Amino acid sequence: MIRSLIWYNLSYYAKTLKFIAPCLVFIVWHFLIHSQTSIPIWSQYHLGALTIFVLANWLGTSFINSEHKTQQYITLLHCKNKTAYHIAKIATILLLMVPFYAIMIFYPIVFGFFVRSLLFTEILAVLVIHFLFSLMGASMSIFFNADFHNQKIILPLQALVVLLVIVPFGVVFADNVFIRYAVLLLPPLNFFGERLHDLDSGVFVIGGNFWLFVLWSLGYSLALIALYIWVRTKRP
């Protein structure tokens, strides 16, 4: 059932043409950040992962608001399972993101933009990092839904929330105890970003910080997704 719903979602979304704007912005931004060679590996991948997070938010919101309410009711009547319907929605967003982070990861490797070649374990780590950034972006985007908010305030509200997440307030205001602990309520993008920047082009070793980031990101994203599905299934 979920597979059928995903294919239906993809075909419906393609007809709306709402994917064109985020795709165009991604293409332009991608070539801007890869405009020179011999670039530091990990700060570049951190920038790429942040790009994927922002894009997942934008694409996710665009997709989640693409289906007309009447069509939603018809689809729900057909599948007769609200949970499966909303899981398929989230899975579709994640599937839409795969080409974008695949390009962001492999383009600089294939065309020799980095100062050195990456180890196989480093490529695996980068795949995990970009997937988790995509997952966090997707799990946030579903809450910027026209059913939850007035259509006019969705984009400004989303822009504000995304800005709060990607700006490293915990670093900028390191002396402020309240801010340092308040940012722990946000997705852990900057927790790992600091370590990637410090590494520069050194060898990435999969250690405790990496697994902490994986568990924290997964837990955070799955909690948001579970909350969203619970709210949507309880509503008439």
Instruction: Give backbone dihedrals phi and psi of 114, rounded to 5 degrees, phi first.
Output: -90, 160
Could you tell me where the beta strands, DSSP code E, fall in 117-232? Answer: none
Q: What pLDDT, on a 0 to 100 scale, did the predictor assign at position 173?
A: 59
168 found inside a domain? yes
What whole-number distance in Å separates Cα of residue 167 and Cα of residue 10? 32
CA distances for 155 relative to 65, 101, 210, angstroms: 12, 23, 32
The structural domain count of the chain equals: 1
20 found inside a domain? no
pLDDT tens digits, residue range 133-171?
999 999 999 888 767 666 677 777 777 778 878 877 655
- The DSSP element (H or E) to which 160 belongs, if any, is helix 151-166
- Judged against a pLDDT cut of 70, whether residue 177 lies above it is answered with no
| pLDDT > 90: percent of the chain | 33
41 found inside a domain? yes
What whole-number distance in Å separates Cα of residue 227 and Cα of residue 194? 29
Q: Of 112, 84, 52, whose CA–CA distance to 233 is shortest?
A: 84
203 found inside a domain? yes
What whole-number distance in Å separates Cα of residue 19 and Cα of residue 86? 20
What whole-number distance in Å separates Cα of residue 192 and Cα of residue 129? 9
223 found inside a domain? yes
17 found inside a domain? no
Instruction: Give me the domain span that covers residue 152.
Output: 2-9+37-234
- The tokens for 135 are 């997952």
Tell me the mean pLDDT in the region 42-57: 91
Long-range contacts at 146-151 (CB < 8 A, ≥ 24 apart): 146/65, 147/69, 151/65
Q: Do 165 and 22 contact (CB within 8 A), yes or no?
A: no
185 found inside a domain? yes
